[in-house]
Amino acid sequence: MAERIGFIGLGIMGRGMAANLLRAGHDVVVWNRTATRMAPLVEVGATAAASPAEVARRCPIVLICVSDTPDVEDVVEGPDGILRGLSAGSLVVDHSTISPSATIRLAEAVGAKGASWIDAPVSGGSEGAERGTLSIMAGGSDDDLERARPYLEAFGSTITHVGGVGDGQRVKIVNQVLVVGTQLAVSEALLFADAAGLDLDQTLAAVTGGAAGSWMLANRGPQMAVRDWRPGFTIDLQQKDLRLALAAADEVGVPMPGTSLIYQLYRSLQAAGLGEEGNHALVKALERMAGHEMGHA
């Protein structure tokens, strides 16, 4: 039997996800810090709540999709947070990308109420949220994930159970480290190619299919060649995730010299006011050092 679903956080990702839940015929109660963002969802059938606590009181399953660790802490532990409304047997699913150690702590607070937690960060961007094709990396118990699965399928096309609570966030960090590291490789390679006088299209054709290949090269390489910096994922959001990655790596005692370098390079682009460009604009940090711009506008 379908359960009523709460959805907290109607930003660039959450609004698409909540809309897909409604489209799939679910009963959805929404809350957003900026109340005006609830109106478009209410228009298509959602019920607006006055606080996260109210969402938790009315819904046995509460999904969260906000930005950063402090935002999730607010929504859960704040004066009107879901801990105030949560019943035993409820389930909280956090789709935000936040700290794995904060996740463990929040899951324990929720557990003390007899409720449970799944961390389920997503990848696939706002397009994926709208189209319902997100990839979801879930940490938590089998039973909790099976309970949530029918709802997550409204906006996720791949749902991978990667371990216990916190492991979803850890795998998301792995994902982001891979994304930016590959992005730096693509940036150095293509800026060199251009400065050395190579044709970028021919170069991409020659190297994309072999051992040098990657999703980033195949998808962002051609975009970089025509200087199209529209974001799949912005530099500002990427930096938030890298901050989580570097802190988590520090906690477990492993070095990330490449990721650390990339963080500094993105920082220089934020300082230059480019934080809302796509993460593939990383190459601009190298271009500024070189005094040479690649590609053709």
The residues assigned a catalytic role are 172
Cα 86 to Cα 261: distance, rounded to the nearest angstrom: 42
β-partners of residue 158 are 135
> Interface with a second copy includes 205 (CB under 8 A)?
yes
Nearer to a second copy (CB atom), residue 16 or residue 278: 278
Site string for a second copy, 136-165 (x = CB under 8 A): -x--------------------x-x-xx--
Cα 118 to Cα 136: distance, rounded to the nearest angstrom: 11
Q: Which of residues 110-129 bind a second copy (CB under 8 A)?
A: 123-124
Site string for a second copy, 278-297 (x = CB under 8 A): --------x--xxxx-----
Cα 68 to Cα 56: distance, rounded to the nearest angstrom: 20
Which of 58, 181, 236, 270 binds a second copy (CB under 8 A)? It is 181
Kindly report the backbone phi and psi dihedral angles of residue 133, in degrees, each rounded to the nearest multiple of 5, phi listed first: -120, 30
Q: State both tokens at 71.
A: 């935002």
Q: Which of residues 2-41 bind a second copy (CB under 8 A)?
A: none
Nearer to a second copy (CB atom), residue 30 or residue 200: 200
Which of 12, 48, 185, 247 binds a second copy (CB under 8 A)? It is 185
Which of 12, 48, 178, 247 binds a second copy (CB under 8 A)? It is 178
3-state class (DSSP) for residue 216: helix
Closest CA to 11 of 34, 39, 44, 43: 34
Q: Which of residues 206-265 bind a second copy (CB under 8 A)?
A: 206-207, 209-217, 219, 232, 245, 248-249, 252-259, 261-262, 265
Q: How far is the CB of 233 from a second copy (least distance, A)?
A: 8
Kindly report the backbone phi and psi dihedral angles of residue 292, in degrees, each rounded to the nearest multiple of 5, phi listed first: -140, 130
What's the per-residue H, E or C state across 174-208?
A: HHHHHHHHHHHHHHHHHHHHHHCCCCHHHHHHHHC
Q: How far is the CB of 56 from a second copy (least distance, A)?
A: 29
Q: How far is the CB of 136 from a second copy (least distance, A)?
A: 9
31: how many CB neighbours lie within 10 A of its CB? 28
